Structure 1
Amino acid sequence: MARIAIDMDGVMADTTQQMIDWYAKRYGVQVDKDALYGKPETTGFPHEKDIIRSFLFEPGFFRTKPVIKDSQEVIRALQDKHEVFIVSAAMEFPASLPEKVEWLAEYYPFITWQNIVFCGSKTIVQADYMIDDHVKNLQPFKGQGLMFTAPHNVHVTDFKRVDTWQDVAGLLL
């Protein structure tokens, strides 16, 4: 049985799509997700990145993110074979904590509170695998880092890549 640490934002919850949706509602401009590929997170929109980053501090942003396809089914199956923890560096956005708890309760009710870890730095995480979309979290990780594909990380080649939750299932189930 392996211990698997899974990031929320960008891995379970579609942060990029949420930014696109919020931007469209706010400014009436639909940004194509493909136009964001290879660009740092919060960039690639017609307005400067500080405007997009400000969404992260607005009530409801974390609570209403779309679920990434197949994540619910695969994570439930992973729990049957492995020890699974949801690990989020949520302390940067303290107001996100209750929203993330509510979001997990709605979309992943099978994950108990004992298996949810909110932290500031993921350097404390000890697991066999970590599935994350950010280099900064995978670089110091001592286990096997799995880079979950997101527009901001498509050029990263330092880690084994998983493009979808079906890729995760093929690797860990």
Structure 2
Amino acid sequence: MLRLTLDMDDVLANTHKKLVNIILNDFDSLLTEEQLHSKALKELLHPKQLKRLNKIIDSPGFFADIEVMDGAKETVYRLSHFYEVFIATACMEFPTSFKDKFDWLHRHFSFIPWTNIVFCGYKSIIHSDYLIDDHVRNLMAFKGEGILFSAPHNLQNRAFKRVANWEEISELFLPVA
């Protein structure tokens, strides 16, 4: 059985949407929602705002209530019938995220066994046939086929096959119904 590994943030979980909502509601910013979805936040925010945002990200509870990406739950469930599905999330940068992420995955993707959840730094350690991730740096070090999940911070990259949503992942990996 082929192995398919999925990233969590901005692939399964709509983390960027939560960050945009925080910026729009809690920051003194003139940026619009459209602008905040057009580029990486590090390109748009003042360094002090980025520092504040990172503090928020690293606080307990931040990852607990992030929305599931549209179509992710249903598609991953279907994929699990044809692939050995793993979830790999790089969470060493924000150590307080471990419990929130684990609980979130259990709540929304309970059909994925805990043995198939990997908390890591760089994803170069992942041995899989496919990795779907929103960060090019993870795909560059990956030995299998990397697929880039579109996100504001990677829109300019053309080095990898790209998917825009879970419908496209379904078309790519699932048999025709």
Query: Structure 1 length normalisation: TM-score?
Result: 0.91
Give SS of 2:101's match: helix
Q: Would the alpha carbon gap of residues 92 and 59 (structure 1) be closer, same or farther in structure 2, given more than 3 Å must change?
A: same
Gaps of 5+ in 2: none
1:62 corresponds to: 63
Instruction: Give the whole-Å Cα distance in 2 for the aligned partners of 1:67 and 1:127.
Output: 23
1:2 corresponds to: 2
Q: Would the alpha carbon gap of residues 56 and 3 (structure 1) be closer, same or farther in structure 2, given more than 3 Å must change?
A: same
Matches within 5 A, 1:3-152: 3-27=3-27, 32-45=32-45, 48-152=49-153
Query: Structure 2 length normalisation: TM-score?
Result: 0.90
More divergent stretch after superposition (54-63 vs 44-53): 44-53
Instruction: Give the whole-Å Cα distance in 2 for the aligned partners of 1:145 and 1:65.
Output: 25
Q: Would the alpha carbon gap of residues 14 and 30 (structure 1) be closer, same or farther in structure 2, given more than 3 Å must change?
A: farther
Contact 2:20 2:36 in 1 (8 A): no
User: RMSD of aligned C-alpha atoms?
Assistant: 1.9
Give SS of 1:93's match: coil
Instruction: Give the whole-Å Cα distance in 2 for the aligned partners of 1:86 and 1:133.
Output: 13
Instruction: Give the whole-Å Cα distance in 2 for the aligned partners of 1:41 and 1:11.
Output: 17
Instruction: Give the whole-Å Cα distance in 2 for the aligned partners of 1:14 and 1:103.
Output: 12
Q: Would the alpha carbon gap of residues 27 and 33 (structure 1) be closer, same or farther in structure 2, given more than 3 Å must change?
A: closer
1:155 corresponds to: 156
Instruction: Give the whole-Å Cα distance in 2 for the aligned partners of 1:73 and 1:13.
Output: 13
* Count of aligned residue pairs for this structure pair: 173
Identity between Structure 1 and Structure 2 (%): 38
Give SS of 2:40's match: coil
Q: Deviations over 1:121-146 (max 9, x none)?
A: 21100111000000110001111100
